[in-house]
Chains A and B, each alone.
Chain A
Amino acid sequence: MSLFGLMWANLFRKRTRTVLTLLSVTVAFLLFMLLQAVSAAFDGGGVNVVGVDRLISSPKYSIVDSLPISQKQQLLAVEGVSAVTQQQWFGGVYQDPKNFFPKYPVEPREFFAMYPEFRISPEQLDAFVRTRTGAVAEQTLAEQYGWRIGDIIPIQADIWPKESGERLWEFELVGTFVNADQRSPLLVFQYEYFTEAVESYGKDQVGWWTVRLDDPERAQEIAASIDVLFENSLNPTRTATEDEFARQFAKQLGDIGFIATIIIAAVFFTIVLLTGNTMSQALRERIPELAVLKTLGFTDATVSLLVLGEAILLCLVGGLIGIGLAFGVRAAIAPALEGFIGAFDFTGATVATAIALSLGIGLIIGLIPALTARRLTIVDALRER
C-alpha cells in the first residue's frame, strides 16, 4: 500500500455514493466536451472562400431579411459568375411541428444544374418543371414519411401565407432525388408558384442566392465584388461559402457560444455544490479516522493533502472518463453534424482545458475539507468516536 492507495481506498469508502458522484462529474465533462466542440464548430471556419466553385449570397444583416429577385441579372453580370439560382426559407409545418425538414421554393432546372450532387431522373425533373404545384423530395425524406409519387403534401405556412390569407399550401409529389454525398432531407417546390401565390410581402423576394463561379481560384475576389455591388443598395449582401452560410444561419438562431458557456457554467456550478457537499459529508464521517492517522504520526499537512488529493482524484477520474466518452460520442454523431455545423471535433486545447478544469474543481471542492482536516486536534476528534 502507498499513500495513493490509501487515498484511493478512502475514496471508495461508500461505493454507491462515490460511483454516483463520479457519474455526475463524468456527465458534466461529457457535456463540456460536446458543447465546446459545438461552440468551436460555430465559431470556427472563418470566411475563407478560396477554392470553392459555389458561393452563397445572403442578406447582410439577418436571415429574416429578403433580397429582391431583380438582383439576379446583376449577379449574372458579375465577371466570373456562370450561373445564379435563388432559394427561400419556407418554414411551415408538415402535420406536426416536430416533423422538421427544410422546404425551399426553387427554380427547378437551375436548382438541379447548380447542385449536381442532387440526382434526379430527367423524366421526374421534366414533371417538376411542368407541374405548377409540383414538389420533389430527397429520397430518404420521402421514405421517412411514406410519400409516393402523386401524393399531396400539405404544408401549413407560418412565415408565408397565400395572398388569399390561406395558410395551407398543398404540393403534389412528382419526383424524388438522391444526394450522392450524404443524407439531405429537403423538399423543394416551384419558386414560380410560390411567388405568384404568396402574400404580397413575399412576392419577388428570395432568401439567398447560390452563385456558380467559372474559376474557383477567384472565389475571394468575386465574393468581394458581389458584396461591393450591393453595398449601397437597400439590400446589401454577405457572400460566403456554403459551410460558412450554414454556420451563420444556425448562429442567428442564437449565440451558440454564449448559450454553451452558460450551460457549462451552470453544470459546473452544480457539480461544485454537489461534489463539495459529498466531500464535506465524507469528511464529517471520517473525523475520528483522520485523528487516528494523526495519532499514528501523519502530520497536519499530510492529512490535509490526503483529503485534498481524494477530491482532486475524484474529479480527475470523472473528468477523464467524461473526456473518453466524449470521443466515443463524437465518433458516433460527427458525420451527421458535420454537414450542418462544420467540423465537430475536439482540439488539444479543449482536452487540456477539461483536464485543468477537473483539477481546478477538485481543488475547489477539496480545499475546505482539507483545511478542516488540517485543523482537527487529535484529542477533540477522537472524542467524536
Chain B
Amino acid sequence: MSQLVSCRDVTKSYIRAKEQVDVLTGINLDIEEGDFLALMGPSGSGKTTLLNLIGGLDQPSSGSIEVGGVGLQDMSERALAKWRSENVGFIFQFYNLLPVLNAQRNVELPLLLTRLSRAQRQKNAQIALEIVGLEDRAKHKPGELSGGQQQRVAIARALVADPKLLVCDEPTGDLDRETADEILNLLEVLNRDHGKTIIMVTHDPKAAAHAQTTWQMDKGKLVAEVPA
C-alpha cells in the first residue's frame, strides 16, 4: 500500500492569555492508504488538533503535512477549502447536520460545490444514504432521527464526494454502546469494502479496537503505537 498521510516535525501552538501553549510538539506520523487508525489519549493531549491539521481544518505552526502527496501547510484558505471538499470526509461527535435540511439535502451539501447536475447530486446522495442504510429516512430532518441515524447521515455526507480519507472526531462519543457498535461496524465496512482510509480520535478503547492501528498521544506527542 502507498502512503497517504505524512506528518514531519509538526508543531502547533496557540496564544492563550498572552501565553504560548504548545499543543503539538514534533509529531512525525505516516499513515498508509487503506489504514484505519485510532488516536487515543487523555483530554488535552492534542488528538483533535492533530486530526484537524491532517483534515486541513487548521495549519501547523511548523513542520509539514502531506496528504496524497499534497503539502497542506502552505495552501491558501481557498485552495485548502477546495482540497477538503475533494479529499476529506468529516465525521463529528455531535453529527453537525444542518437542522433546516432533510437527510437527503444534508448529504447533498458537499456536492453543491461541484459541477454535478441537480439530478446527479440527488442520485449520489441517495447512493450514500443507501450505503449507510438510511435510504428510507431521506426526507426526514435531523430532529426526526435518532442519534445513531443522525450519525449515519453524517457518514453519508462524509462519503458522498467519494474522498479517500475520512477523519472522525469521537464519532461514537454521543451514542449508546449498541448504536456505537453499529457505527463502528459501518466504519469498518467503509474501510474494508470501500477502501477508505480512516483516522479516528476516541477515548473509548472498545472503539479503538475496531481500528487496525492505534496511536497513544500525551502532552502533544505520539507516545506509543498500541498493538492491535
User: Does the CB pair B58–A13 fall under 8 Å?
Assistant: no
Within B68-90, which residues are at the interface with A (CB < 8 Å)?
A: 77-78, 81-82, 84-86, 90
CB-CB < 8 A to A377: which residues of B? 58
Q: Does A48 count as interface, using CB distance less than 8 angstroms?
A: no
In-complex Cβ contact of B90 among A1, A295, A302 (8 A): A295
User: Does the CB pair B57–A379 fall under 8 Å?
Assistant: yes
Q: Does A298 count as interface, using CB distance less than 8 angstroms?
A: yes
CB-CB < 8 A to B101: which residues of A? 1, 6, 9
CB-CB < 8 A to A325: which residues of B? none
Which residue in chain A gives the minimum CB-CB distance to B112? A3
User: Does the CB pair A297–B92 fall under 8 Å?
Assistant: no
Q: Does B113 count as interface, using CB distance less than 8 angstroms?
A: yes
User: Does the CB pair A2–B77 fall under 8 Å?
Assistant: no
Interface size class of A (residues with CB under 8 A): 20 to 34
User: Does the CB pair A13–B99 fall under 8 Å?
Assistant: yes
What separation, in Å, do the CA atoms of A292 and B110 have in the docked complex? 10
Q: Does A294 count as interface, using CB distance less than 8 angstroms?
A: yes
In-complex Cβ contact of B77 among A3, A5, A300, A382 (8 A): A300
Which residue in chain A gives the minimum CB-CB distance to B98? A289
CB-CB < 8 A to A12: which residues of B? 100
- How close is B180's CB to chain A, nearest CB, in angstroms? 19
In-complex Cβ contact of A385 among B81, B96, B121 (8 A): B96
From known contacts A293-B109, A296-B110, A298-B81, infer whether A378 and B57 are also in contact, taking CB-CB under 8 Å.
yes
What separation, in Å, do the CA atoms of A3 and B111 have in the docked complex? 11
Q: Does B105 count as interface, using CB distance less than 8 angstroms?
A: yes
User: Does the CB pair A298–B113 fall under 8 Å?
Assistant: yes
Q: Does B194 count as interface, using CB distance less than 8 angstroms?
A: no
User: Does the CB pair A382–B112 fall under 8 Å?
Assistant: no
CB-CB < 8 A to B108: which residues of A? 1
CB-CB < 8 A to A13: which residues of B? 99-100
In-complex Cβ contact of B92 among A9, A300, A302, A382 (8 A): A382
User: Does the CB pair B81–A299 fall under 8 Å?
Assistant: yes
Q: Does B215 count as interface, using CB distance less than 8 angstroms?
A: no
- How close is B61's CB to chain A, nearest CB, in angstroms? 13
- How close is B168's CB to chain A, nearest CB, in angstroms? 13
What separation, in Å, do the CA atoms of A371 and B35 have in the docked complex? 40
Q: Does B139 count as interface, using CB distance less than 8 angstroms?
A: no
Q: A1-B101, A12-B100 given. 4 additional CB < 8 A pairs?
A: A6-B112, A289-B96, A297-B84, A378-B57
Instruction: Kindly list the 4 A-B residue pairs having the minimum CB-CB distance in the complex, ordered from nearest.
Output: A297-B85, A9-B100, A292-B96, A299-B81
